[in-house]
């Protein structure tokens, strides 16, 4: 009995030791690690699904509020209510009604606080990577073109397209910006938006800029956003501002017209009025470039010469085109990108108002789709904005709280980092107190809230962000998840990409799921896991595993 007890205790000890060794030998630069982690979690969640919506999703829509931290969501909720003449706190956002909820861990493989490139790669390809990197795994060197070949990752958008679904991208930023670029581009540096931004090393080794990859890469049925200047040379006038582009070579907009015009009815538009007049029943491909740079903040929309459409208007047009083309099956990526930009300049009102514009787009999507549409909302990362100060119920979200300990008023919204801290710190050095806001209109849309740590651009936050979900298999979002888990659920729910075959085996898949495709799109060479493999992607055991297993076998003989 003593020997049996000793053996059992020793085995438990060694198993715990093995687990610790394994946790320290994980290679985060290996895409298999991220696929296997997400697949294991997905398997467990599927097996818990009893009596819930397990239909195959028709439409799959991923909304991203760039930089939309939990405090930003709260701010959007209050602002929605106060915009309607209510106290605000009791307001209900469209996605507050979604039945399933989780959190997303946003770190990059080399950064505790992430950027939008590394996070876009995670929630669009299913693999985490380094900060500033798009569509490549963490085995590459940031900014090094030569290190990238063989490390490319297909996004959920590309996998959907290769599975026969129409697909779309919508953003309020430049289409070459980090979040939308994660859907189609492969670059080791997010700033390579135009060929004029490429390094000599990148040019010498044949890397292409992000704009070129959008126009010459995967076929994308609907593309709407900003950034015209990244697609043209300086000698080509802009439709709105007259100033040409920043490319060294090429007219990529003309390239798009030539390429897509051969495939069907292809419409290029630049204004809200053109989008309003668009016949979505007779449009096969759509390119909407509504600004030379980013689209305006919603509060600045009156300043736009040609008129920017709202995110809700773009979303409605995209869904109509994609639903028709795919007979109800499609994938759409929608980003409210300027939430992030407002926070980066310490302008809480513009950030939160653009968050409300995203909420309206989600409401429109819910209105024109059915219960077999999977709609997911999340964020790429958080920010340093906070809501504080014990304001009374119904207090203006952008107003001032009575005073601090030295009698100076401060705003309900504030930031930890950002450019506004320069004036705050200067005042503290000079007068030992903050600037006095008594006679300042903090509700003005141009007002920028005070910050504590002076940075030229307010930084991101590293805390978890929310995931809201509704529709088929939305219950698979149910706890704290790694960010790269998101596209796995969406592909499984929609039966495309990596899960095009295995999702149909059974409503409740058991552990033995043969034939899972490892990170490749339909129609491409695949690496198939062996029959009966419990995880999707078989991995060679690491040397600590082999060593400990041999040790256990030997000790078992001795004991």
344 is in an annotated binding site: yes
Residue 62 CB contacts under 8 Å (≥ 6 apart), including other chains: 123, 156, 331, 332, 333, 334, 376, 378, 486, 487, 490
8 A C-beta contact, residue 104 and residue 464? yes
Residue with tokens 């929608």: 334
Q: Which pTM does this prediction carry?
A: 0.86
Q: DSSP characters for 531-555?
A: TT-SSSS--PPPHHHHHHHHHHHHH
Q: Which residues pair with 187 in a beta bridge?
A: 134
Q: Where do the structural domains in the chain lie, given as residue ranges?
A: 47-384+460-499, 394-454
DSSP letter, residue 309: P
Spatial separation of the C-alpha atoms in residues 252 and 36, rounded to whole Å: 38
Q: Enter the tokens of residue 333.
A: 């990526």
Closest C-alpha among 494, 485, 497 to residue 523: 497
165: left (phi over 0), alpha (psi -120 to 50) or beta: beta
8 A C-beta contact, residue 139 and residue 151? yes
Q: DSSP characters for 68-98?
A: --HHHHHHHHHHHHHHTTS-STT---GGGG-
pLDDT at position 27: 87
pLDDT at position 555: 47
Residue 8, judged by CB atoms within 10 A of its CB (0-12, 13-18, 19+), counts as: exposed
8 A C-beta contact, residue 144 and residue 306? no
pLDDT at position 431: 87
395 is in an annotated binding site: no
380 is in an annotated binding site: yes
Residues of the chain scoring pLDDT < 70? 1-25, 50, 504-559
pLDDT at position 25: 67
Catalytic residue among 69, 71, 116, 474: 116
pLDDT at position 82: 98
pLDDT at position 546: 40
For the segment(s) 47-384+460-499, the CATH number from 3.30.70.890, 3.40.720.10, 3.60.20.10, 1.10.10.10 is: 3.40.720.10
Report the Cα 469 to chain-centroid distance in Å: 14
251 is in an annotated binding site: no
340 is in an annotated binding site: yes
Spatial separation of the C-alpha atoms in residues 87 and 66, rounded to whole Å: 26
Q: DSSP characters for 346-396?
A: T-HHHHHHHHHHHHHHHHHHHHHS-TT-EEEEE-S-EESEEE-S-PPTT--
Spatial separation of the C-alpha atoms in residues 147 and 165, rounded to whole Å: 32
Instruction: For residue 516, give the 3-state DSSP assignment.
Output: coil
pLDDT at position 349: 98
pLDDT at position 502: 77
pLDDT at position 406: 85
Task: Give catalytic status of residue 534 as yes or no.
Answer: no
């Amino acid at each position: 009995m003593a020997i049996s007890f000793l053996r059992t205790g020793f085995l438990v000890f060694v198993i715990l030791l093995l687990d610790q060794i394994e946790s320290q030998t994980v290679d985060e630069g290996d895409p298999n690690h991220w696929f296997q982690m997400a697949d294991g979690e997905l398997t467990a969640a599927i097996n818990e699904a009893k009596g819930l919506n397990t239909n195959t999703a028709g439409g799959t829509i991923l909304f991203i509020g760039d930089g939309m931290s939990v405090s930003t969501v709260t701010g959007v909720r209050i602002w929605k209510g106060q915009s309607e003449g209510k106290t605000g706190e009791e307001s209900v956002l469209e996605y507050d009604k979604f039945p399933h909820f989780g959190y997303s861990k946003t770190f990059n493989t080399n950064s505790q606080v992430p950027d939008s490139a590394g996070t876009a790669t995670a929630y669009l390809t299913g693999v985490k990577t380094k900060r500033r990197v798009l569509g490549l795994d963490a085995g590459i060197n940031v900014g090094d073109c030569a290190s990238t070949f063989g490390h490319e990752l297909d996004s959920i958008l590309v996998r959907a397209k290769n599975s026969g679904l129409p697909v779309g991208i919508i953003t309020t930023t430049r289409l070459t910006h980090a979040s939308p670029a994660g859907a189609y581009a492969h670059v080791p540096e997010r700033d390579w938006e135009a060929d004029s931004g490429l390094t000599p090393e990148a040019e010498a080794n044949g890397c292409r800029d992000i704009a070129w990859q959008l126009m010459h890469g995967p076929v994308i049925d609907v593309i709407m956003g900003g950034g015209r200047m990244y697609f043209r040379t300086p000698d080509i006038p802009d439709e709105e501002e007259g100033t040409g582009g920043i490319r060294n070579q090429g007219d990529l907009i003309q390239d798009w017209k030539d390429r897509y015009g051969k495939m069907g009815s292809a419409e290029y538009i630049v204004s809200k009025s053109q989008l309003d007049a668009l016949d979505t029943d007779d449009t096969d491909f759509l390119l909407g470039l509504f600004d030379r740079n980013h689209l305006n903040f919603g509060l600045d929309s009156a300043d736009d010469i040609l008129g920017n459409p709202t995110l809700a208007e773009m979303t409605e047009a995209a869904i109509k085109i994609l639903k028709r083309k795919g007979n109800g099956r499609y994938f759409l990526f929608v980003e409210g990108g300027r939430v992030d930009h407002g926070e980066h300049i310490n302008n809480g009102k513009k950030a939160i108002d653009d968050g409300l514009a995203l909420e309206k787009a989600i409401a429109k999507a819910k209105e024109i789709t059915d219960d077999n549409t999977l709609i997911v909302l999340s964020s790429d990362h958080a920010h340093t904005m906070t809501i504080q100060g014990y304001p009374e119920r119904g207090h203006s979200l952008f107003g001032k709280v009575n005073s601090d300990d030295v009698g100076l008023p401060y705003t309900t919204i504030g930031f930890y980092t950002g450019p506004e801290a320069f004036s705050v710190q200067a005042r503290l050095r000079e007068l030992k107190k903050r600037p006095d806001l008594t006679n300042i209109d903090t509700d003005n849309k141009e007002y920028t809230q005070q910050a504590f740590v002076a940075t030229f651009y307010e930084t991101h936050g590293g805390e978890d962000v929310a995931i809201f979900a509704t529709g088929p298999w939305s219950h698979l979002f149910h706890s704290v998840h790694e960010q790269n888990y998101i596209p796995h659920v969406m592909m499984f729910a929609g039966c495309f990409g990596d899960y095009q075959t295995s999702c149909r085996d059974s409503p409740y898949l058991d552990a033995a799921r043969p034939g899972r495709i490892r990170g490749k799109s339909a129609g491409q060479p695949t690496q198939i896991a062996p029959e009966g493999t419990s995880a999707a992607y078989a991995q060679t055991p690491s040397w600590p595993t082999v060593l400990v297993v041999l040790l256990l076998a030997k000790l078992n003989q001795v004991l």
